[in-house]
Amino acid sequence: MIFDHIHNAFLYEAMHPLFAKAFDYLRSTDFERMENGKYEIDGDNLSAIINRYTTEPADMRQWEAHRTYIDIQYMVTGEENMGVAPLHTMKISKPYDNENDYFLLNGEGVEQTVKPGFFTIFFPTDVHKPNLIASSANTILKVVLKVKMETSKALQLCFASNNKYKLDEIRLLLSDDRIQLNTMQDLGVYDELSETGDTLEYNAWQKANHLYVYHGFNAFADDTGLEVEALGGRPGVHSARYAGEKAVSQENVKKLLQNMQGVTQRRARFRTVICLILNAAEYRFEGQVDGVIAETPRGEGGFGYDSVFIPNGETRTFAEMSTAEKNTISHRKRAIEKMVSFLKEEFLKGEPYYEKD
C-alpha cells in the first residue's frame, strides 16, 4: 500500500504507464460537481468511480482485494479510516469474482485515517477495508480510480506448488517464452493447498482448482506417485506421506525398502498427473516412466524416491543423474511436454515467440 498527499503524486507516476494520467485526472477534475457513478477515462484500462456515502463501523464492512485492477482511492471531502493488511496473513471467505474483480477475506489488519487531499494505492497484494468511521460517522465524497494491471504478452500460468525441486525441474522444461510460469509466492499467495484425494487425478485438480476459484489464476498442478507392482501399486497417491503425515523423503524410502525386503520382482513406475485449469476449462495430462526399485539408495541428486528408482534402460538411479539427464526421460517431463504441446496447438498457434528481458 502507498499512502500520500496528492501534491506528492508525481513520485509514483513511473510505477505504471497510466499513473500519470490517473493523477492528472484527480488534480484537474471538480468532483463536487459530478454525480455518483462510473466514468471511463481510458476504456477499461482506467476508470473512475465517484461515490458519496456515510462511514460505518468496522464490523459492518468486509476485507476485500483485487486481481486485475489497482485501486487509487482519493478522498475529496470527509474523513474515514481504511483498514489494510498483507494478503498472505488473511483467509479467503468468498472466492474470486472474475466479472467484478474482487474477493473477500477474513483476518486482522491496521487502520489508517485518510483526510481530504490524501490518496491510497492498493495493489493486488494489499487487502483493504475502506469506508470506516474515523473520529465519528460522516459523509464522504471519494473517487476510486481503477487502473488495470499491466499484463505480459506471454500466457500467464501459476504452478500450484511450493516444492522447490519441482519448480526447478519445471522451469527447465517450460522453455517457451510465450508461457510465463509464476509461483504462488510470485503472485502473493501463501495458502496451504490440500491433497486429500484418493487418486493423483483428484489431488492435482484440487490444487489447481483452489488457485482458479479463490484467486482467479489460470493454474496447473501436478501430483506424482511411485507405484510398485509387488506392493499392489503402493505407495501411489500416498507417496509423499508413506511413512506418516510429516515424513521426510529418507523415512519414506526406508519404509519402502523395508516392505520390499526379500522381494525379487521389483518392477515399479513413476506416474505424474497434471491438471490445468485455463479460462474455467479443465485439462488433464499424464506421464509415466517404468523401472525397478534398487536394493539400496544410491546418488545425491533429485528428491523423493529418486535414490531407489532405476528407470528402464539405465543402470543408475534418478538420484545419480544430473537434472538435465533426468529431465530427458522423467515422468514429469512427459506430462509437461503434453501440456505444452496442447497449449501451443490450442492457445498459442500463430503467436510469435517473445524475447525475454
Q: Which grid cell sits at 121?
A: 494505492
Looking at this protein, which amino acid is placed at residue 275?
A: C
Q: pLDDT value at position 178?
A: 81
Burial class (CB in 10 A: 0-12, 13-18, 19+), 164: exposed
Which DSSP string corresponds to 310-352?
EETT-SS-GGGS-HHHHHTT-HHHHHHHHHHHHHHHHTSTTPP
Closest to 105 (Cα-Cα) out of 48, 182, 206, 189 = 189
Q: Do domains 2-148 and 155-346 have the same CATH topology?
A: no
pLDDT band at 166 (very low <50, low <70, confident <90, very high): confident
**Euclidean distance between CA atoms 243 and 261, whole angstroms:** 16
Q: pLDDT value at position 354?
A: 36
222-233 pLDDT, tens digit per residue, is 999 999 999 999
- Range with the poorest average pLDDT among 37-46, 57-66, 239-248: 239-248
Catalytic residue annotation: 223
Residue 300 has what DSSP assignment? S
pLDDT surpasses 70 at 260: yes
pLDDT band at 355 (very low <50, low <70, confident <90, very high): very low
Phi first, then psi, for residue 2 (nearest 5°) are -120, 135
User: Considering only the top CATH level, what class is 2-148?
Assistant: mainly beta
pLDDT band at 356 (very low <50, low <70, confident <90, very high): very low
- For all residues of the chain together, what is the average pLDDT? 91
Q: pLDDT value at position 43?
A: 95
Query: For the residues 155-183, what does the mean pLDDT come to?
Result: 81
Query: For the residues 307-323, what does the mean pLDDT come to?
Result: 95
Angle (CA) 356 158 327, round 5°: 70
Rank 72-86, 316-330, 341-355 by mean pLDDT and report only the highest.
72-86
**Euclidean distance between CA atoms 124 and 121, whole angstroms:** 10
> How many Cα atoms within 13 Å fall on the side-chain side of residue 222?
26
3-state DSSP assignment of residue 142:
strand
CA distances from 237 to 43, 224, 304, 325 (A): 48, 7, 13, 25
Residue pair 205/273 in contact (Cβ under 8 Å)? The answer is no
185-233 pLDDT, tens digit per residue, is 888 888 888 889 999 999 999 999 999 988 889 999 999 999 999 999 9
**Euclidean distance between CA atoms 319 and 300, whole angstroms:** 6
pLDDT surpasses 70 at 154: yes
Q: pLDDT value at position 314?
A: 95
Q: What is the pTM of this model?
A: 0.70
pLDDT band at 152 (very low <50, low <70, confident <90, very high): low
pLDDT band at 352 (very low <50, low <70, confident <90, very high): very low
3-state DSSP assignment of residue 66:
coil
- Range with the poorest average pLDDT among 14-18, 73-77, 233-237, 340-344: 340-344
Q: pLDDT value at position 172?
A: 78
> How many Cα atoms within 13 Å fall on the side-chain side of residue 228?
24
Listed by start position, the domains of the chain span: 2-148, 155-346
At a CB cut-off of 8 Å and minimum separation 6, what does 35 contact?
A: 50
Query: For the residues 15-21, what does the mean pLDDT come to?
Result: 95
Q: pLDDT value at position 100?
A: 92
Q: Are strands 102-106 and 91-97 parallel, antiparallel or unpaired?
A: antiparallel
Residue pair 141/32 in contact (Cβ under 8 Å)? The answer is yes
Looking at this protein, which amino acid is placed at residue 252?
A: N
**Euclidean distance between CA atoms 302 and 323, whole angstroms:** 7
User: Considering only the top CATH level, what class is 155-346?
Assistant: alpha beta
